Amino acid sequence: MREYPYPSKSDVRWISPDWLDENMDDVRIIDVQPNVHDYIMGHIPGAVYMNEGILRVARGRQPASFVPPESIESVFSSMGISRDVPVVVYSGPGVYSRCAAGIGDGLEQTMVAYALIRFGHQMVHILDGGIEGWMESGRKLTKEFPDVLESRFRAEIRCEHFVGMYELRSMMEGEDIILFDARPTPSYEGQAMWIKPGHIPGAHSLPWRNLMTEKNSRLLRSDVELRSMISGFDLDNKKIIVYCGTGREATNEYLFFKYYLGHPDVRIYEGSFTEWSSYQENPTVTGPNPR
């Protein structure tokens, strides 16, 4: 059994419904269900709503880059987020949204949790199991909206969390690098929605959904299952880089390697395969093997 909060000391921790219930007055709870109507239909008491889509805008060849810090400051401030108060993030399956492709998949909570630490917050909690876990523990949702006092959030981009395309190019042939692709296996192996097929040369396939239980994409598998899943990879003294399609799926694995496992050197390639494949000179590999 996982003891919450897990790990005991970290910038990002996974918490249980019990822990949240006991600490509700000391945290800012953020509901990131897929649609505001999901939030209106029911949310954890005290939670304020945020749609993850507000985090990204088009920039250059990138159709989905993180917004500049001055933009996120106004968003986080209006929600009452401050860097000296812990934040709890949770999502749900999106009952109103009918779980269309990519909606209610569970990545909302890791995407927003990553954005918080990327812009300088250092006390982020993820509700393991999301809204389903809260309800399964016998706790109720509410339709009442909390009063929110605006804060003064000051963003600080923490560049140590991510890597750019040119930096990745210079690093990827090193023996001390291990690269993971968090997309589904068919996308990794062949032609998907991108202009080029396959994956970045040297990348290992590790679909993000494999880390989560079959019934609940917001609930991590057991510690035994998770460690068994990565036991075949030599991670000792390696720099881990994770990527996916647009950088969203990779947030799940970034948080897992960086904070759940506590690996000392992990970064996310935010541009991911969308950026990589848009450059003619960047090679890709098809099939089940990294190279």
**Active-site residue numbers?**
244
**Do 206 and 182 form a contact (C-beta atoms < 8 A)?**
yes
Q: How far from the centroid of its chain's Cα atoms is residue 184's Cα?
A: 16
Cα distance between residue 262 and residue 29, in whole Å? 24
Distance, CA of 178 to CA of 129 (rounded, Å): 29
Per the CB < 8 A criterion, the answer to whether 188 and 199 are in contact is: yes
Which H or E element spans position 273?
Answer: helix 272-276
Q: Is 124 exposed, middle or buried (0-12, 13-18, 19+ CB in 10 A)?
A: buried
How far is residue 80's CA from residue 77's CA, in Å, rounded to a whole number? 5
| Total residues belonging to the chain | 291
